[in-house]
């Protein structure tokens, strides 16, 4: 097993809104391994974007971290003199929650951890050519200019599979299609040669065909640049392609974490069941598609017990009172549900999940 590059320990994030406190992240624990791609899946409002904004210091002004650590191991000893520096059995780290100033963040942002925002329409500068925007990243992070920066930009444009890069270099964002623009945004991220690439729903605004191409591009780049990818999405269907591991988030907490096979073929948390069951790919025409009832809990109030219990038609009595711990399903698979407690009544997952399970068995049988 490879080493951790990022380790989130008991992270809490709160926002102050009109004098009230919103508890957006409620004690996240997550290890991200070097070179893996991990998907973070959840509905809007589950806190998946908030979690990732912490990694690059882009938390909104009214947000703060009352508790918790984010250990980043990618810098080694370089930042020894920083207040958040330390070391554990995984190596030297720097605690990103200790960063206060913008200058501190500039050491991390871009060159170490980079983010691809959701909407390529709004994240490019409409007044500059795309070549200029990519070389800017090269200048700031690698000090390249002139001919060297030009050649490097062309090479990166080729890497993100943009045809005729010398012509594209001189074009403006409005001349490109949505898929092309997303590639340019990826090119800017790659130009900084980061260790970790955070992709915040990079494909939701795109057509299905383009989405598939961008996903396969990310796959390639990951191998070529030895990237660690954190992939944020609400669509479990997309995850199967790109992820090695999947973390399912609900109401500011990770409810299930496992290898991608384990999440798809052997999910344990009722929320993961619900997410999978509501995929139209698994539905049959003429039948009702499974829909999750109700809305996510109000995070202005402290959540009692399992946050999903209120929307779970088969919740146990204890779910409403006490927060379940993480139960280990396998060394790589954890779920936060009382269903896994040995004392819990035996409950079969919904039919769709059973079907997926069968599918998984068949595959492993053949494979």
Does residue number 122 form part of the binding site for another protein (CB under 8 A)?
no
C-alpha distances (whole Å) from 79 to each of 54, 75, 205, 299 are 19, 7, 38, 36
Nearer to another protein, 169 or 250 (CB): 250
Cβ density class 282-306: b for 16+ within 10 Å, e for less: beeeeeeebebeeebbebeeebebb
C-alpha angle with apex 94: 9 to 38, nearest 5 degrees?
55
Minimum CB–partner distance for residue 60 and another protein (Å): 18
Report how far residue 282's alpha carbon sits from residue 289's, in angstroms, rounded to the nearest whole number. Answer: 9
Site for another protein in 288-307 (CB under 8 A): 288-292, 295
Q: Residue 25 forms beta bridges with which residues?
A: 13
* Contact status: 350 vs another protein (CB under 8 A): no
Segment 160 to 199, residues that bind another protein, using CB under 8 A: 177-178
**Between residues 44 and 87, which has the closer beta carbon with respect to another protein?**
44
Only segment of 112-120, 146-154, 233-241, 319-327 that touches another protein (CB under 8 A):
233-241
Other Cβ atoms less than 10 A from the Cβ of 145: the count is: 11
The correct pick among 213, 318, 340, 344 for binding another protein (CB under 8 A) is 213
Contact between 332 and another protein per CB under 8 A: no
The least CB distance from residue 194 to another protein, in Å, is: 24
User: Cβ(186)–Cβ(176) under 8 Å?
Assistant: no
Our finding on whether 281 is near another protein (CB under 8 A) is yes
Please, are residues 153 and 138 in contact by the beta-carbon 8 Å criterion?
yes
If one asks whether residue 280 binds another protein (CB under 8 A), the answer comes out as yes
Interacting residues with another protein (CB under 8 A):
43-44, 177-178, 207-213, 215-216, 234-238, 240-241, 243, 260-261, 264, 274-276, 278-285, 288-292, 295, 356, 359-360, 363, 367
């Amino acid at each position: 097993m490879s080493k951790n590059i990022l380790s989130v320990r008991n992270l809490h994030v709160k926002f102050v809104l009109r004098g009230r406190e919103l508890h957006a992240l409620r004690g996240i624990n997550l290890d991200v391994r070097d070179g893996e791609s991990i998907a973070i899946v959840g509905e809007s409002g589950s806190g998946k974007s908030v979690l990732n904004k912490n990694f690059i210091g882009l938390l909104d002004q009214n947000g703060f971290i009352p508790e918790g650590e984010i250990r980043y191991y990618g810098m080694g000893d370089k930042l020894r003199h920083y207040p958040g520096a330390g070391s554990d059995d995984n190596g030297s780290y720097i605690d990103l929650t200790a960063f206060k100033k913008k200058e501190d963040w500039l050491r991390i942002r871009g060159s170490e951890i980079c983010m691809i925002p959701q909407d390529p329409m709004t994240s490019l500068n409409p007044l500059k050519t795309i070549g200029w925007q990519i070389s800017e990243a090269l200048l700031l992070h690698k000090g390249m200019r002139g001919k060297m920066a030009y050649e490097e930009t062309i090479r990166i444009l080729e890497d993100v599979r943009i045809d005729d890069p010398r012509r594209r270099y001189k074009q403006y964002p409005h001349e490109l299609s949505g898929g092309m623009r997303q590639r340019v945004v990826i090119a800017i991220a790659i130009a900084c040669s980061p260790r970790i690439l955070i992709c915040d729903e990079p494909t939701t605004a795109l057509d299905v065909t383009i989405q598939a191409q961008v996903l396969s591009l990310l796959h390639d780049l990951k191998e070529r640049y030895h990237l660690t990818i954190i992939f944020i999405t609400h669509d479990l269907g997309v995850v199967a392609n790109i992820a090695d591991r999947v973390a399912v988030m609900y109401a500011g907490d990770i409810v299930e974490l496992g290898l991608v096979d384990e999440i798809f073929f052997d999910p344990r948390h009722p929320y993961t069941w619900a997410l999978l069951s509501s995929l139209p790919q698994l539905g049959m025409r003429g039948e009702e598609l499974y829909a999750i009832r109700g809305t996510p809990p109000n995070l202005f109030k402290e959540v009692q017990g399992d946050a999903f219990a209120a929307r779970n038609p088969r919740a146990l009595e204890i779910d409403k009172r006490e927060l379940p711990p993480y139960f280990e399903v396998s060394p790589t698979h954890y779920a936060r549900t009382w269903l896994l407690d040995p004392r819990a009544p035996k409950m079969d997952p919904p039919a769709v999940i059973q079907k997926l399970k069968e599918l998984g068995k068949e595959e492993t049988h053949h494979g």
